[in-house]
Structure 1
């Protein structure tokens, strides 16, 4: 029995075809993975199947669910199925969570209103769901108090609460460390054991391997290759699929550190940070110099973003001192947000926002165009609003905006969490080039220790033990010495 079939799904922006006619089926117990680079049309295909396309886009084709034939992209036709027959795990958790509700009540509400559980049972089930995702201590927190990875897991718990047999997961593990990624994969695969259907959209090769099933490779809105996931990833036939697999950080060359360190841009001494009553960093000392890259790793929620907020003056340390180089404007210290959707005005065209920033910082007229080329971004994206571009495209536009401010220090908070391996390789390469050519000091956060090992001059790991334990035992390793060092980064 087929749970879902989609026939000749096409997505159009006026006369421009964004997704070519694509057909697929979803069978009980057999996951389908759609793999492709950022902007390849993966999310647009899912939105057409779900009936959630932006109003500016149009879809054609037919979707069959439970014996019902529905026109692709017809929001009204699909509305009664949302949460009950088909559920989506969104790419942007910030847009799916109620900012005025704490985490546990959001999940409990779905159990109560969609699944029909009584209030007490709904609350108990929500608590178990969050505990299973490592969020027991976050039950009483609001979305703005959650890290990006934590917010993603809350959104997953809420979307799954309705018990829909068909689940479409759009980049469900972006921003998560390997352990949490595996937890989410287990949660998704659990629905298959009960005869459900699972469609996973991702650029994460590790997640694709973990999910298994069948694989469809998408590029520029067209299907390049299909087959069993294990077979395609072990012996890809399409040149693009081979390039995608070869772009994994495991295949990168190690970056050669500058022979001489530049001037000190930022320094922290005996830094101690707490948030929400929990100690995150204790007694950390570091020095960031021009042209150097500091790599920061650690599990979701361990305090990596909080460390960045403190270095940028957005969070007051509990103890310690942060010193920035004299003569630099506050705007010389920039952050690349983990979730750029929360950092762009939603109702303004992207080009207008970028031109305003360029004008504010007296950037040369051709600066935006030059950065668009370097970041592999189409100029036509500037006419769109943030909600009409892919997450990966928005992440690269956020880097473009930061560079317009002429920064001397960039705290890059998971800047490639939304990017496919090819684009990730290019963007990390661009950051490394900027550090070398422009003398930038960069703090690079990533859940991928291999990526950090390949790129960073110095690395620090912020551990999170039981109860979000102090980061006092953070290990600082110098790559060139291959040995443990005190908590001093130079």
Structure 2
């Protein structure tokens, strides 16, 4: 199909389950109008849970059955909301390509990465199998993840999985690309690399709709920026105006919450808490390749240590070694004898930490019952994390990635851990929510005497909140 435009005219999203259909309480996304056309980028910017992904799903026809889109969606002037589902699905991969927010949900866990990238070029792009394999390897090489070609998704770091999912979504033929948080979990160089690929799609005449909480991504892509909060558009216009001369107070606050502006934590000297973990000369290998070696760490109760380094260097693997989930290639890790549940991990990809068919309330109450936690602690933590208690009655797939990550943090804090490995805990959060969440995480750790190993691609954030920072080199 030749693509001319996708127009949203007063598009809104409403819940089908609300007792008063048509009432204001059922409206999740208030009316939005925008146009996607060849050679133009539109970026939806805002807090987690602000309705950005719901709006995008309404435009391309992927809303869950509990929600309904209203208004008008016109593809080349033809109304789409009254089209049968099969007709809209026929556009996927050919007219519309989607890069979903969660690479673990986009990739088949039983299929090797290279084969998945090849398959989209063969079955959707129409290439021969031989040419599809060549194109897949070229795509992986262009994203610097050719080493992932023969690996399963579970053997990849979060950043590597994100780039493989990007390669799989890019068949090269779909003129309209929808990218939902395409740079989360990536270091600055990888983020800029993916952003450049998105911009290349636009420069080649494609249309791009990007959902992000990162103003740096919006600045790099230019075009039109739409700022959303609580399901409503607060500000909309050219990127140069919205991002450099914001008119709305929320946009101003969002841009001002960059870690560059956070106060730097003053060193408190040697930690006073009891030793929690001692690692000596640790080396870790994955897939027959040594990621790092000779790493040592002493971690005390109440201490927050940052861990930085490029994607795929072994940060998550080292955290798993500290938890006893992964055996080191060499070296030793010593931990005091204690109940296993006092050693916790905050996963980079929260869907991996929640049963998909169990409500979030059940997931929390299972922890309360199993480990005799205080259920009265849930409501105060919800408030401190900026979460509505109504979210607990949903499934993990029915909340935003940022909301799910904060719920994962809530569940961990209920257990009062002595050691917490926080693997990119704010990669899905906007700047404002990130600042609040990191503040709660570090404050709770110091109040409870919990040692934290905090992974982030944002070195500035680590410098602002950690007692000290370790840096891993790029894997050989």
**Once superposed, what is the RMSD of the aligned Cα atoms?**
1.4
Q: CA deviation at 1:258?
A: 4.1
Q: CA deviation at 1:77?
A: 3.6
The correspondence for 1:215, drawn from 198, 218, 225, is 225
The correspondence for 2:7, drawn from 5, 8, 18, is 5
What is the aligned partner in structure 1 of residue 127 from structure 2? 117
What is the aligned partner in structure 2 of residue 463 from structure 1? 473
Q: CA deviation at 1:193?
A: 2.1
What is the aligned partner in structure 2 of residue 304 from structure 1? 315
What is the aligned partner in structure 1 of residue 325 from structure 2? 314
What is the aligned partner in structure 1 of residue 21 from structure 2? none
Q: Which moved more, 1:43-52 or 1:183-192?
A: 183-192
The correspondence for 2:350, drawn from 340, 350, 361, is 340
Write the distance in 1 (CA, Å) between the matches of 2:83 and 2:417.
42
| Structure 1 residue ranges without an equivalent (≥5) | 470-490
Q: CA deviation at 1:348?
A: 0.6
Confirm or deny that 1:279 pairs with 2:281.
no
Q: In the alignment, is the contact (CA less than 8 A) between 1:291 and 1:440 conserved in 2?
A: yes
Q: In the alignment, is the contact (CA less than 8 A) between 1:290 and 1:441 conserved in 2?
A: yes
| Pair 1:146–1:25, CA change in 2 (3 A) | same
Q: In the alignment, is the contact (CA less than 8 A) between 2:365 and 2:375 conserved in 1?
A: no
| Pair 1:73–1:350, CA change in 2 (3 A) | farther
What is the aligned partner in structure 2 of residue 450 from structure 1? 460
Confirm or deny that 1:153 pairs with 2:155.
no
Q: CA deviation at 1:232?
A: 1.2
Confirm or deny that 1:103 pairs with 2:103.
no
Query: After superposition, where does 1:236-247 map in structure 2 within 5 Å?
Result: 236-247=246-257
Q: Which moved more, 1:342-351 or 1:71-80?
A: 71-80
The correspondence for 1:434, drawn from 428, 439, 444, is 444
| Pair 1:230–1:289, CA change in 2 (3 A) | same
What is the aligned partner in structure 2 of residue 476 from structure 1? none
Confirm or deny that 1:224 pairs with 2:226.
no
Q: In the alignment, is the contact (CA less than 8 A) between 1:51 and 1:73 conserved in 2?
A: no
Q: Deviations over 1:104-147 (max 9, x none)?
A: 11111111111111111110000000000001111111111111
Confirm or deny that 1:425 pairs with 2:435.
yes
Q: Which moved more, 1:418-427 or 1:24-33?
A: 24-33
Write the distance in 2 (CA, Å) between the matches of 1:434 and 1:344.
22
Tell me the secondary structure at the aligned position of residue 150 of structure 1. Answer: helix
Write the distance in 1 (CA, Å) between the matches of 2:408 and 2:83.
29
Q: Which moved more, 1:160-169 or 1:170-179?
A: 160-169
Confirm or deny that 1:164 pairs with 2:166.
no
Q: Which moved more, 1:115-124 or 1:73-82?
A: 73-82
Confirm or deny that 1:26 pairs with 2:65.
no
Q: Deviations over 1:81-112 (max 9, x none)?
A: 00000111100111111112111111111111
What is the aligned partner in structure 2 of residue 483 from structure 1? none
Tell me the secondary structure at the aligned position of residue 460 of structure 1. Answer: strand
What is the aligned partner in structure 2 of residue 142 from structure 1? 152
Q: CA deviation at 1:194?
A: 2.2
Confirm or deny that 1:56 pairs with 2:58.
no
The correspondence for 2:413, drawn from 377, 391, 403, is 403
| Structure 2 residue ranges without an equivalent (≥5) | 19-25
Q: CA deviation at 1:196?
A: 0.9
Write the distance in 1 (CA, Å) between the matches of 2:190 and 2:418.
33
What is the aligned partner in structure 2 of residue 479 from structure 1? none
Write the distance in 2 (CA, Å) between the matches of 1:137 and 1:420.
31
Q: CA deviation at 1:423?
A: 0.3
Q: CA deviation at 1:49?
A: 0.7
When normalised by structure 1's length, the TM-score is 0.93
Write the distance in 1 (CA, Å) between the matches of 2:293 and 2:240.
44
Tell me the secondary structure at the aligned position of residue 176 of structure 1. Answer: coil
Query: After superposition, where does 1:353-372 map in structure 2 within 5 Å?
Result: 353-372=363-382
Q: In the alignment, is the contact (CA less than 8 A) between 1:299 and 1:463 conserved in 2?
A: yes
Write the distance in 1 (CA, Å) between the matches of 2:204 and 2:359.
44
Write the distance in 1 (CA, Å) between the matches of 2:85 and 2:195.
28
Write the distance in 1 (CA, Å) between the matches of 2:83 and 2:331.
54
Q: In the alignment, is the contact (CA less than 8 A) between 1:268 and 1:286 conserved in 2?
A: yes
Q: In the alignment, is the contact (CA less than 8 A) between 2:8 and 2:59 conserved in 1?
A: yes
Confirm or deny that 1:263 pairs with 2:277.
no
| Pair 1:12–1:257, CA change in 2 (3 A) | farther
Tell me the secondary structure at the aligned position of residue 6 of structure 1. Answer: strand
Q: In the alignment, is the contact (CA less than 8 A) between 1:258 and 1:436 conserved in 2?
A: no
Write the distance in 1 (CA, Å) between the matches of 2:355 and 2:168.
26
Q: What number of residue pairs does the alignment pair up?
A: 465
Q: In the alignment, is the contact (CA less than 8 A) between 1:9 and 1:21 conserved in 2?
A: yes
When normalised by structure 2's length, the TM-score is 0.95
Tell me the secondary structure at the aligned position of residue 195 of structure 1. Answer: coil
